Chain A
């Protein structure tokens, strides 16, 4: 009691600044104490939650495996399977349990194929989980829509095509991306029809994801990509150029040549690259005649094309560019000359005294 009184006296007689410091210390101490208790509470709640999830997961895993092995050839749904369907269906009304059921089904659905994968999909319908996914497509919250589309894609629900196609131009990138992946994953190249109506930009990452899905299909019959090469949406044109290259679309060479006068430089450069890959000889003369009007990037890409398509008649043109100011063009010109005519290349040893020229020549001479 005496020491307690001493503390009060000390505080009352201390200068205001000291009193303020003590008050601040006290406030911070209480705040730290409250936060520590709250953190401990949160952690224990999370751990408890984790434990509950693990318990439910174990239970549903076991139900799922029993369901998969309980089928028989006589009945469409055996009595044992029906019991599991009823049990899971009764659990789906609870958000928490439903999430665990869906993730359990997906964990297995993603790793297996064949009859069992189909059986899991059937179970998704039988437990009416789909009736919870469908209203999500109409949600005002974009992330709920995106998650809904993703779930329907993972369970390969083709029937909701019309409800999903309306999201291809959604204002949120995540929703657009999920809807594009849904269409391509479930409808293969046919799903790419959304490109006809795409008004938003398809990012490089979106394009990579789509190409990755497409390459998984056995049927690699690609539809006519001409309309996409002529699209007003530059990202669609860029994507179509990738398709043209990957799927060797030689039949679209006229559209590709048309892209040499596209308003965007990147598209023009990519078009030269694809023309080179497809060995479209017609493109060579067009670009050669127009060489001085091309940007430096296009000129470099054109020389890469020449490396593929050069002929003896190109020699004067190449010779004229061995002293080009751009290093890559110089290198490419000399490299092609060496391939076309070794004797001519040898005679060019002292053609220029430019330091870069000498370096390139020496490099190629001993290569």
Chain B
């Protein structure tokens, strides 16, 4: 388990976080959960994960700010998958401009997320 690839998941919906934690841990990854962008940045700086999953709309610090921090301040090329809700198309474009690698529109299938995670971490 100590060799498991680390994933930081920043999501304010605790039920969704728990579900994804179970699903991805089943696939052999180590999940670090953040309830907001602030916690996410702390976890990223502390653990240097192999992948970041982040929602766009979060309390304190948004997903866009998390991406910007990772790419511009920490200068990390860690793959980032963004979760967005309907009507946030412009935000998704901004996320890509900031350096996000992929996005998934809510509601999404956890199975599809696993496929995308595997593709980015292979």
Please, how many angstroms separate the alpha-carbon atoms of A114 and B108 in the complex? 8
A111 touches B22 (CB 8 A): no
**Is the CB–CB distance between B19 and A216 below 8 Å?**
no
Residues 85-122 of B, flagged 1 when their CB comes within 8 A of A and 0 if not, give 01000000000000000000011111110000000000
Given contacts A69-B22, A216-B86, contact A64 B15 (CB under 8 A): yes
* A113 close to B109 (CB less than 8 A): yes
Task: Knowing A107-B13, A216-B86 are in contact, say whether A113-B108 is a contact too (CB < 8 A).
Answer: yes
- Residue of A with least CB distance to B106: A111
> How big is the A interface, by class?
20 to 34
Among A65, A104, A117, max chain B CB count under 10 A is at A65
- Check: A340 CB closer than 8 A to any chain B CB: no
Cα distance A113–B18 when bound, in Å?
16
If A65-B22, A69-B22, A216-B86 touch, whether A108 touches B109 (CB-CB below 8 Å) is: no
Cβ A111 vs Cβ B111 within 8 A:
no
Which chain A residues lie closer than 8 Å to B109 at the CB level? 112-116
Is A295 part of the binding interface, using a Cβ–Cβ cutoff of 8 Å?
no
Known: A107-B13, A111-B13, A216-B86. A61 touches B18 (CB 8 A): yes
B111 near A65 (CB under 8 angstroms)? no
The answer to whether B86 touches A68, judged by C-beta atoms less than 8 angstroms apart, is no
Decide yes or no whether B77 CB sits under 8 A from chain A.
no
Q: In the complex, A216 Cα to B18 Cα: how many Å?
A: 27
A58 — nearest CB in chain B belongs to which residue? Answer: B14
Are A112 and B16 also in contact (CB < 8 A) when A117-B107, A216-B86 are?
Answer: yes
Any B CB within 8 A of the CB of A110 = yes
Q: A107-146: which residues lie under 8 A (CB-CB) from chain B? A: 107-108, 110-117
**CB atoms of B15 and A108 under 8 A apart:** yes
The reply to whether A114 and B111 form a contact with Cβ atoms under 8 Å apart is yes
Instruction: Give chain A residues whose Cβ lies under 8 Å from the Cβ of B110.
Output: 112, 114, 116
Residues of A within 8 A of B15 (CB): 61, 64-65, 104, 107-108
Q: Tell me which residues across on chain A come within 8 A of B23, comparing CB atoms.
A: 69
Instruction: Give Cα A216–Cα B109 distance, bound, in whole angstroms.
Output: 16
Tell me the bound Cα distance from A112 to B108 in angstroms.
5
Q: Mark B4-18, 1 if CB is under 8 A from A, else 0.
A: 000000000111101
Bound complex: CA A200 to CA B22 (Å) = 49
- The yes or no answer to A339 lying at the interface (CB within 8 A) is no
Highest count of chain B CB atoms <10 Å: which of A62, A107, A112, A114: A112
In the complex, what residues of B have CB within 8 A of residue A117's CB? 107
Residues of chain B within 8 A (CB-CB) of A104 are 15
| Shortest distance from the beta carbon of B20 to any chain A beta carbon, whole Å | 9
Residues of A within 8 A of B22 (CB): 65, 69
Q: Bound complex: CA of A116 vs CA of B106, how far in Å?
A: 14
Distance, CA A108 to CA B108, complexed state (A)? 11
| Bound-complex Cα distance A62 to B86 (A) | 27
B107 touches A110 (CB 8 A): yes
User: A112, B19: Cβ atoms under 8 Å?
Assistant: yes
The residue of chain A having its C-beta at the shortest distance from the C-beta of B26 within the complex is: A69
Contacts of B16 in A (CB 8 A): 107-108, 111-112
On whether the beta carbons of B107 and A112 are closer than 8 Å, the reply is yes
Chain A residues whose CB sits within 8 angstroms of the CB of B19 once the complex forms = 65, 68, 108, 112, 116
How distant is B23 from chain A, measured CB to nearest CB, in Å?
8
Determine the residue in chain A with the shortest Cβ distance to B11: A111
Which of A57, A61, A117 neighbours the largest number of chain B CB atoms within 10 Å of its CB?
A61
B18 and A62 within 8 A (CB): yes
B86 touching A113, Cβ below 8 Å: no
Q: Across the A-B interface, give the 3 residue pairs with the lowest CB-CB distance, nearest first.
A: A114-B109, A113-B107, A108-B15
Q: Which residues of B contact A (CB under 8 A)?
A: 13-16, 18-19, 22-23, 26, 86, 106-112
9 A–B contacts from the bound complex (CB under 8 Å): A65-B15, A65-B22, A68-B19, A107-B13, A108-B15, A111-B106, A112-B19, A112-B108, A116-B19
